[in-house]
Structure 1
Amino acid sequence: MIPPADSLLKYDNPVLIRSCTERKSPKGRPLKVSAQQPADSGPVPPPPKQKSASSEVTKQENEDILNSILPPREWTEGNQLWVQQVSSAPCTRADVICLEELLDTKLLQREAREAGICPVRRELYSQCFDELIRQVTINCAERGLLLLRVRDEIQMTIAAYQTLYESSIAFGMRKALQAEQGKADMEQKISDLENEKQDLLKQLNEQKAKCDAIEKREAEKRQMEEKKYTEEIQFLKRTNQQLKTQLEGIITPKK
């Protein structure tokens, strides 16, 4: 496993927990370093002064709370397991200024976006917030726990927005696919209607041609009938005139 990358969160020096290939003595026992001082090592230094029990308990509680808030990171390098805990050293104003400068430097080095969604910028600001939680927890564990709640709430809100964004993207893609499918159906329907329109126009033209032919035929027939009727009328008129003349000729001698 590759060692973890540098972080804005301040850690202590890594500690070797165990090695898979332990060195053994010729008798088959693992080599151990004796914790006792040799006899000729000189005078034993006086033990350190005992601190008050309450301060030791408070410090240990703060360290436990700090480790629960910001768990140590582990990695394997070769056959060795390394553990690195967050630093419990108190911070100063200079540390905060250095943290701000380091944040700006990493934002420039990793080319984080100034606006919009940027995983790099979010990661760096998350590390910076964890470092601030570490610094506050050392001085006041309760305040650190409260900041932890704020951090978790922010992360939960961001996760909710991310889920909403992903679901909206999926919804948009589904609607786009439905629109594409509906578009294909509508194009097919338009094509069918266009073909139907062409067929109807063809039938209309045929019916118009038939209608014109019928009108032409009926017009010719009507002209022939009118001519025929005109000739008959003229014939009847001439016949009537002749009969009238004959009738007048018959009537006139009698007078």
Structure 2
Amino acid sequence: MIPPADTLLKYDNPVLVNKSTDRKSPKGRPLKVSPQQPIDSTPVPPPPKPKSASAEATKQENEELLNSILPPREWMEGNQLWVQKVSSTPCTRADVLHLEELLNTKLQQRQAKETGICPVRRELYSQCFDELLRQVTINCAERGMLLWLVRDEIQMTIAAYQTVYESSIAYGMRKALQAKKGEADMKNRILELENEKQELKKALNEEKAKCETVEKIEAEKRQLEEKRHDDEIQFLKRTNQQLKAQLEEIIAPKK
């Protein structure tokens, strides 16, 4: 026999069910190792029926409602199908205290975190909630129905938060990859700009060298032109003095 997973939810002893008969039964369910059901596949329990004068009929109705809210566990052993339903025995104050002690023990044994996100702690508290739901449903079907709705609402909220968390993780990974790729592109762009900068510096130095050479040549030309100009001025001055002296010699005898 494959024993189902240990849980805080109280079950009756497992019962051997005929495989062929059970398959024809509309209540046949696949193997489950946990009493919790997915939110989307949780069967909607029928509304509580009016109280009957017969205690046996009322007990049967409560058991059907209890099985609808907390479906039985099933597993296969060879060709045999075993079914284990939740217990319909009313609880006492001692049972509640024992449940609290058992919860604390399992939290310590499985080393559940006291704070933050902890799947182990969440699983154990969910099992404890199901056990409380079972106890309440046995005593008051209407209160159990309302508590069942509260449980499913909490599960849907947690599932929504989990979906948002997974989406945010995927979005963060995409952004991280994009940023990493952008960083590589930026580094390549920086290298290209550095190379371009070096080339521009080299071209600038060449232009400066050309400019200095041109300035030097032009300065030499300017000095030669100034010297030539000064020589011409001196020549013209001497020529003017000579012509002036000759003119004075020509004019002087006439006096």
Q: How much has 1:19 moved relative to structure 2?
A: 7.8
- What are the residue-to-residue correspondences of 1:194-205 with 2, within 5 Å? 194-205=194-205
1:218 paired residue number = 218
Q: Which residue of structure 2 aligns with residue 174 of structure 1?
A: 174
Letter in structure 2 aligned against 1:155: Q
Match of 2:209 in 1: 209
Q: Cα offset for 1:148?
A: 0.6
The equivalent of 1:34 in structure 2 is: none
Asked if structure 2 preserves the Cα contact closer than 8 Å seen for 1:3 and 1:76, the reply is: no
- Alpha-carbon offset, residue 109 of structure 1: 0.5
Q: For residues 72 and 82 of structure 2, what CA distance do their matches in structure 1 show? A: 10
| Separation in structure 2 between the aligned mates of residue 6 and residue 186 of structure 1, nearest angstrom | 56
- CA deviations on 1:55-103 (whole Å, 9 max, x unpaired) are 1111111110001000110112344322111111111111111111111
Kindly report which structure 2 residues correspond to 1:68-147, keeping only aligned pairs within 5 A, or say none: 68-147=68-147
Please report the TM-score for the alignment, with normalisation by the length of structure 1: 0.83
Q: Determine whether 1:57 maps to 2:47.
A: no
Task: Kindly name which structure, 1 or 2, has the bigger radius of gyration based on alpha carbons.
Answer: 1
- Unaligned runs of 5+ residues in structure 1 are 21-51
- Is this contact kept in 2: 1:3–1:77, CA < 8 A? no
Query: Matched residue of 1:253: which SS?
Result: coil
Q: Which residue matches 1:46? A: none
User: Shift of the alpha carbon at 1:254?
Assistant: 2.1
Contact 1:112 1:118 in 2 (8 A): yes
**Matches of 1:11 and 1:69, distance apart in 2:** 14
User: How far 1:252 moved relative to its partner?
Assistant: 2.4
- The answer on 1:164 being equivalent to 2:164 is yes
C-alpha deviation, 1:18, in angstroms: 4.0
Residues 100-146 of structure 1 deviation map (CA, whole Å, 9 limit, x = unaligned): 11111111100111112111111001000000000000000111111
- Aligned letter for 1:83? V
- Which amino acid is 1:57 matched to? A
Deviations 1:161-208 (A, max 9, x none): 000000011111111111112222222222222222221111111111
Q: The residue matched to 1:254 in structure 2 has which SS?
A: coil
TM-score in terms of structure 2 length: 0.83
Amino acid at match of 1:13: N
Per the alignment, residue 2 of structure 2 pairs with 2
| SS in structure 1 of the partner of residue 2 of structure 2 | coil
Say if 1:66 and 1:137, in contact at 8 Å, map to a contact too: yes
CA distance in 1, matches of 2:84, 2:171: 44
Write the distance in 2 (CA, Å) between the matches of 1:3 and 1:191: 65
CA distance, structure 2, for counterparts of residue 17 and residue 134 of structure 1: 23
Runs of 4+ aligned residues of structure 1 deviating over 4 Å after TM superposition are none
How many residue pairs get aligned? The number is 224
RMSD: 1.7
**Deviation string, structure 1 residues 13-72 (Cα, Å, up to 9, x no partner):** 11222489xxxxxxxxxxxxxxxxxxxxxxxxxxxxxxx952111111111000100011
Alignment partners' CA distance in 2, 1:82 and 1:18: 9
* Aligned mates of 2:121, 2:228 — CA distance in 1: 105
Structure 2 segments unaligned to the other structure (5+ residues): 21-51
The residue number in structure 1 matching 2:28 is none
In 2, Cα distance between the equivalents of 1:251 and 1:103?
145
1:37 matched residue in structure 2? none
The reply to whether residue 229 of structure 1 matches residue 229 of structure 2 is yes
Paired amino acid for 2:17:
I
The Cα shift of 1:8 comes to 0.4
